[in-house]
Amino acid sequence: MAAVSSPQIGTIQLTRSSACCSLNIDQPITGSVQLKKCKGWPGQSLKQHNSSLGFRNQARRQSGFLARASLETVAPTIGKVTEVGKDTFWPAVNAAGDKIVVLDMYTQWCGPCKIIAPKVEQLSEKYSDVVFMKLDCNIENKPLAKELGVRVVPTFKILKGKKVVKEVTGAKLDDLVQAIETVKASS
Amino acid sequence: MAAAATAGLQTNYMGGLLYNFNVRNAIPPKRLITVRANKVEPSDKSVEIMRKFSEIYARRSGTYFCVDKGVTSVVIKGLAEHKDTLGAPLCPCRHYDDKAAEAQQGFWNCPCVPMRERKECHCMLFLTPENDFSGKDQEISAEEIKALTSNL
């Protein structure tokens, strides 16, 4: 049986012969949308499944499952420094495509990080063809910090082609500018 | 009844869809809201301890605070935060795989070994007079620290 699209925006009803799940979105979602896998009990049809769940409203059998919309998709913007996390960094790097990516790895209570942050913002306005991001190396983002490798804070990682090609440790603006120019020249 | 059931299932206090918990074999919903790591504030007591330590150590080592006292304030708070969580003022300007082990080991406990041996403080807390960013102060008040970190 084919999928039937309803008049409502974003509503898709899949029949029981397919994935047996339906997705209702009441309003447009700007981030990525993950369809939660809706498994009925083995051997059950959708109708039986809904009955076993005891839905009073049989009309709800069309949409008894949870749509989880993740708003954590981060679109890197030119001209400013985008905050990323462990889940959004690599998608953002992928979205940057062939552009050079500069990542500012900082911690909450690092003094030099606070000094250089506004200067990096200025660099992001100057280098409009470079994507600037920043990562708070807290406990939440620890896996990513470990993956990228950081000891001194701040550390700037410069990525080209989705790989780290250069690194600047410490709040050294001149070294950072030189590193960006070097990577740009080599591309 | 249909409308009520529909309405009830469309709203909850967290803004997501609710399942009917009274139903046998119902699958409890997972949290829809991502809890972000909170910005942590150190205790006033630890801030005061690290403030006094910083003043004493600056005088003892012949170093000075940064011309931008905001840097000094942030680093003092970072030391205080580590003192709260780890029991030792681990350098806040480094990243560690195992903070507890590092605090135990002591190399990066303030004053760290590079500072003690070579007066090198990459946090810019203790600056030698010839450093371009060195100010003239070896004192900082609790009020200054509070004011300069209030917007963080």
> Residue A5's beta-bridge partner residues?
A12
Decide: helix, strand or coil at residue B134.
strand
pLDDT at res. A75 = 65
Cβ–Cβ < 8 Å for B112, B81:
no
Residues of A in contact with B16 (CB under 8 A): 66
| Single-letter residue type at B18 | L
Interface size A-B, in CB pairs within 8 Å, comes to 100
d(CA B67, CA B134): 6
pLDDT of A14-40, one tens digit each? 444 443 434 343 443 344 444 444 444
Using alpha carbons, select from B96, B84, B92, B24 the residue that is nearest to residue B49. B84
**Strand A163-169, strand A130-136: pairing:** unpaired
pLDDT at res. A79 = 81
More confident residue, A41 or A183: A183
Q: Which of A52, A114, A150 shows the shortest C-beta gap to B95?
A: A150
Using alpha carbons, select from A155, A187, A150 the residue that is nearest to residue A168. A155
Neighbours of B104 (CB within 10 A): 12
Q: In the structure encoding, which two tokens stand for residue B148, read together? A: 């300069």
Cβ–Cβ < 8 Å for A100, A70:
no
Does the annotation count A137 as an active-site position?
A: no
d(CA A169, CA A157): 9
d(CA A4, CA A12): 6
Given a cut of 60, whether residue B88 has pLDDT beyond it is yes
Instruction: Give the DSSP H or E segment for A90.
Output: helix A89-96
Residue B35: phi, psi to the nearest 5? -90, 120
pLDDT of B17-35, one tens digit each? 454 455 555 555 554 443 4
A70-79, B68-77, B86-95: least confident range: A70-79
Mean pLDDT, range A166-177, rounded to an integer = 96
pLDDT at res. A69 = 52
pLDDT of B122-144, one tens digit each? 999 999 999 999 999 999 999 99
> Residue A133's beta-bridge partner residues?
A82, A103
| Inter-chain CB proximity A60 and B39 less than 8 Å | no
Using alpha carbons, select from B139, B135, B113, B109 the residue that is nearest to residue B124. B135
Does B100 touch chain A if contact means CB atoms closer than 8 Å?
Answer: no
Could you write out the DSSP letters of every residue in B78-133? HHHHHHHHHSS-B-TTB--S-HHHHHHH-TTBSSPHHHHHH---TTSSSB-TTSTT
* Marked catalytic residue, from B93, B110, B112, B123: B93
Least Cα separation, residue B118 to chain A (angstroms):
17
d(CA B71, CA B75): 6
Mean pLDDT, range B87-102, rounded to an integer = 96
Given a cut of 70, whether residue B74 has pLDDT beyond it is yes
Using alpha carbons, select from B89, B148, B147 the residue that is nearest to residue B123. B89
Could you write out the DSSP letters of every residue in B59-92? HHHT-B-BSSHHHHHHHHHHHHHHHHHHSS-B-T
Least Cα separation, residue A112 to chain B (angstroms):
6
pLDDT at res. B29 = 52
Could you write out the DSSP letters of every residue in A100-151? EEEEEEE-TT-HHHHHHHHHHHHHHHH-TTEEEEEEE-SSTTHHHHHHH---
Does the annotation count A113 as an active-site position?
A: yes
Instruction: Answer whether the bond into residue A154 is a cis peptide, omega within 30°.
Output: yes
Considering chain A, what is the average pLDDT of its residues? 75
| Inter-chain CB proximity B70 and A114 less than 8 Å | yes
pLDDT interval class at A71 (50, 70, 90): low
Mean pLDDT, range A154-166, rounded to an integer = 95
